[in-house]
Amino acid sequence: MSSPRPQRADAVRNRAKIMAAAHEQITANGPEVSMEQIATAAGFAVGTLYKHFPTKTDLVAAVVAASITAVADDAEAALSRTCDDGSPALEEITGFLTRLIDTAAHDHAVKAAARALAADPAALHDEARATAALDRLIHAAHQHGDLRPDFSVDDLYLLFSTAPTDQPAHVRARWLALLITGLTAR
Amino acid sequence: MSSPRPQRADAVRNRAKIMAAAHEQITANGPEVSMEQIATAAGFAVGTLYKHFPTKTDLVAAVVAASITAVADDAEAALSRTCDDGSPALEEITGFLTRLIDTAAHDHAVKAAARALAADPAALHDEARATAALDRLIHAAHQHGDLRPDFSVDDLYLLFSTAPTDQPAHVRARWLALLITGLTAR
DNA sequence: ATAGATCGTGAAGCATCATTCACCTTACTG
DNA sequence: CAGTAAGGTGAATGATGCTTCACGATCTAT
């Protein structure tokens, strides 16, 4: 009944190295990088990756889930700017969307995270934090009468997941401009 | 200086068969169907496809370009409903968008065509026809004061290219609803 | 009908990848 | 410090898919 044996210390370290390298590679090249490439970047052989993650899909999912963290941070910062400094909620929402899209344009991991969010709006590491902050932000905008009353967090995720992240900056900006006028209250 | 020799009659027929099969396969399975699968569907060996198209990319491009035809037809029909029957231009525009998105949800060829349109708004077979019709429709809506004054055909293509065509119908509808309120004049 | 080019064939070549496993190495335990 | 299980290795396997090419079949101009 005794626990079979604890995980080795170096294994924990190496797992972190693998995650870091995978995150870097996916950020730069998208989730279709080869396991070989991730392994090389991490300084290991491919077999090692499979000692930690049963399949490539699992590794990618772990990385994608973790990359929500930065998004959640940004959402919370936006929320506190509204709550503490009185910045207009609608402005913070559109600012958040803008930053997110610009980030995703360079960061394939965030882009993949967006798709995952839209497909299954849960089960992503730190997703709850982001959702909670955005929810309060949206609520504040509703109270203020800025935002169309039926707008929800799911809508935000939906819009983000369809952003033209592979288009040049001026196209992304135009897309946002078309969108945002549809968000204001009637 | 005499033309080397005309193309053989059967070769012309077979090229059409290949195009038809490729269109069918790409419509159903997307542009990533294998050349083998297209060849089988067409009733030929792979080598034959390469006698007609130097690379898979060329074959796919040809199919995608051709699949604009149906879109152009729809655009022209919408235009004539407005010009001849006095149907509101804005309604025809949103109707066009709605139909196009629903089509793309099932037809991978149209979806690919949309991406191609947004990337390079020219050089697609029948693209000019669609653009001309939509342009007149947009112009009519502007005259009527329904549509935001800065809205253009490029915007329409941009919006369409970002539609969530792989989401279920109610999500697509919601996405459209969010968009369309942003299109009306201020 | 015949020559001669065009066309069609499909197995083979070549790449790319995910995944496995028999074998060595290393960290931990007693 | 020795024994042992966990950890790491990387060549091999098998799948998939684009592309080529030497050969035989077919069409067409004469």
Query: pLDDT for A133-145, tens place per residue?
Result: 999 999 999 999 9
Which nucleotide, over all strands, has the C1' atom closest to the CA of A33? Answer: C17
Model confidence band, residue A3 (pLDDT cutoffs 50, 70, 90): low
Model confidence band, residue B125 (pLDDT cutoffs 50, 70, 90): confident
Q: Say yes or no: Cβ of A80 under 7 A from any atom of strand C.
A: no
Cα distance from B18 to chain A (closest Cα, Å)?
A: 30
Reference B101, options B61, B60, B161, B50; nearest CA is B161
Please give the angle made by the CA atoms of A96, A108 and B123, to the nearest 5 degrees: 100
User: Which residue's CA lies closest to nucleotide D10 at its C1' atom?
Assistant: A45
Question: What ranges do the domains of chain A cover?
Answer: 9-59, 67-180
Q: What average pLDDT is seen over chain A?
A: 94
What pLDDT does residue B52 have?
98
Greater model confidence, A84 or A123: A84
Question: Does domain B67-180 correspond to CATH entry 2.60.40?
Answer: no
pLDDT in tens, A93-121: 999 999 999 999 999 999 999 888 888 87
Among B164, B167, B182, the residue with its CB nearest the CB of A182 is B182
Write the DSSP symbol of residue A147.
B
Cα distance from A138 to chain B (closest Cα, Å)?
A: 15
What pLDDT does residue A169 have?
97
Please give the angle made by the CA atoms of B153, B156 and B162, to the nearest 5 degrees: 145
Question: Does domain B9-64 correspond to CATH entry 1.10.3720.10?
Answer: no
Q: In a mutagenesis test of the B interface, which of A178, A180, A181, A183 is the best target, namely the one with the most B β-carbons within 10 Å? A: A178
Model confidence band, residue A166 (pLDDT cutoffs 50, 70, 90): very high
Q: How far apart are CA A182 and CA A140, in angstroms?
A: 18
Would you identify the CATH topology of the domain A9-59?
Arc Repressor Mutant, subunit A (1.10.10)
Is B51 at the interface with chain A, CB within 8 A?
no
Alpha-carbon distances, residue A122 vs A31, A128, B71 (angstroms): 20, 7, 37
- Per the DSSP assignment, residues forming a β-bridge with B184 are B147
Among A151, A174, A178, the residue with its CB nearest the CB of B182 is A178
